Amino acid sequence: MPITMQISRHNPVKWKLDMQKAEFQLFEHCTKNDPKFNETAHVWYGSLLPGDLEDVQNHISCSALGFADEMYTSITWSHIYHHKLALRPDEVWFTILSQLGFYVATNVGRLGNLFKVPGAKGNDHMEWNDPTPMAERLINMLQGTIIDPNLRDWITPTFSTTNEHDAVIASMLVCGRLYEDGHTNFRASQQAPIRIPQPWDFGIPSVTLRGEKGDWELLYDRVSKLDAFLAGEPVEFANGLEPILRRFVESFTMPTPEAVRDFWSDMIGVHEDDGDGWVVFSGWITAFSFWNAKGQRIEKRRQNPYVLDEVPYGRMHTQQRSSAHASLPVTFHFKDTTHRREHYTPAIFFAGPAAIRVTGRKDRIEPVSAWWLVEKVKDEGAAWDMNE
């Protein structure tokens, strides 16, 4: 059963950004500042159901940052603007997998026992007329790069909150980046700065952990077993997460409200940096950012770190964060047997944190991940029709 914890005495504030009522509207709004999607035409498939976007009492909204890391966005917005916060174990898992995806893509040459390097990037062909559900086809293609079946199972979420699309998202975040060409990562520096309201009066009214206590135990158990597959920096990453995830579990049974409040109040600190509108994060939230988009370890500020179970968590600048999503270029083969015509069309699979779900009295927010298949605009002079 989910648990809700009162963290501060702030009255919850309603979310003010507009609701998106269609998938293409959400996708276009969230990618308007992302150059990677300047040449996309329209959404073919998506994991968000019409009901997700049309329910006024439970609506989906793009954050002001566009496609970023919606777990960070939800936590930051809740802390600064006093929204209630809710988290699914799946969304926390996606944030962890996204970080590992950066490491895997950079070091795949040394991980030959775990991953197969895909062929020419962007040349993967899929048959449009294949009756297999698109989500299943995508999972099969991505997980085909994983050699170790135990790792495949470890990546795939199996929480009580997991839906049929979450396996696609998890696979994309780890394996999809093996196909990327190094120019598809949307850096946090391309986002608009976070504006800090004055006077400062931060605090999250409440935190809700979705699912059951056993889901959060499973999340902790998965992270603690990362060393069965990877060594070195990934183990350091896991070691920094374990004290935090242990307290996620203990939140269901902590003996005093004070113990709960102390931990969740220490989740994030927001500090203005030189008056330029950007901020510096402190608190245990920084443990979820270990690598940048190039798979390089993020150098955090060591002065005045937050310490939990003797593990220090350094401060980090907003611009050090990287987008948590992944994209995969593919080419679709269309075959019209009636008119004996066929053509090839380029597209992009996209998956990862996508938006904010607003619930309750429009004062509770939580991150939402999704996947899309988006057609690319035909280049000038390109000839994809094989019979033209």
Residue 240 phi, psi (nearest 5):
-75, -25
Question: Is 264:10 a contact under the CB 8 Å cutoff?
Answer: no
Q: What is the pLDDT of residue 56?
A: 53
**Is 58 exposed, middle or buried (CB count within 10 Å of its CB: 0-12, 13-18, 19+)?**
middle
**Radius of gyration, CA atoms only, the chain:** 21
Cβ atoms < 10 Å from Cβ of 154:
17
Q: What is the pLDDT of residue 386?
A: 33
pLDDT in tens, 139-163: 888 888 899 999 999 999 999 999 9
Extract the tokens encoding 320. 């050090």
Q: Which long-range contacts (CB under 8 A, 24 or more apart) does 143-148 make?
A: 143/171, 143/175, 144/116, 145/115, 145/116, 145/117, 145/118, 145/175, 145/178, 146/114, 146/115, 146/116, 146/175, 147/113, 147/114, 147/115, 147/116, 148/113, 148/114, 148/229
Q: What is the pLDDT of residue 187?
A: 37
The pTM of this model reads 0.88
Report d(CA 74, CA 262) in Å as an integer: 19
Q: What is the pLDDT of residue 62?
A: 72
Angle, helices 166-175 vs 89-107, to 10°: value is 30
Beta bridge partners of 17: none
Q: What is the pLDDT of residue 123?
A: 54
Q: Which residue has the tokens 């611009």?
A: 319
For residues 58, 217, 289 and 357, what is the CA-based torsion angle, rounded to 10 degrees? Answer: 0
Strands 326-336 and 125-127, bridge-based pairing: parallel
Q: What is the pLDDT of residue 26?
A: 72
pLDDT in tens, 295-352: 999 988 888 899 999 999 999 887 777 777 888 888 887 776 666 677 788 888 888 8
Displacement of CA 98 from its chain's centroid (Å) = 6
DSSP 197-248: PSS-----SEEEE-S-HHHHHHHHHHHHTGGGT--SHHHHHHHHHHHHHHHH
pLDDT tens digits for the chain (388 residues)?
Answer: 899 999 998 999 998 877 765 666 677 766 665 666 666 667 778 887 555 555 555 678 776 554 456 788 888 889 888 999 999 999 999 999 999 999 999 999 899 899 987 664 545 667 777 778 888 888 888 888 899 999 999 999 999 999 989 999 999 999 888 876 543 333 333 444 455 555 467 899 999 999 999 999 999 999 999 999 999 999 999 999 999 999 999 999 886 788 888 999 999 988 776 555 567 889 999 999 999 989 999 988 888 899 999 999 999 887 777 777 888 888 887 776 666 677 788 888 888 888 888 988 899 999 989 888 888 765 544 433 333 3
Q: What is the pLDDT of residue 159?
A: 98
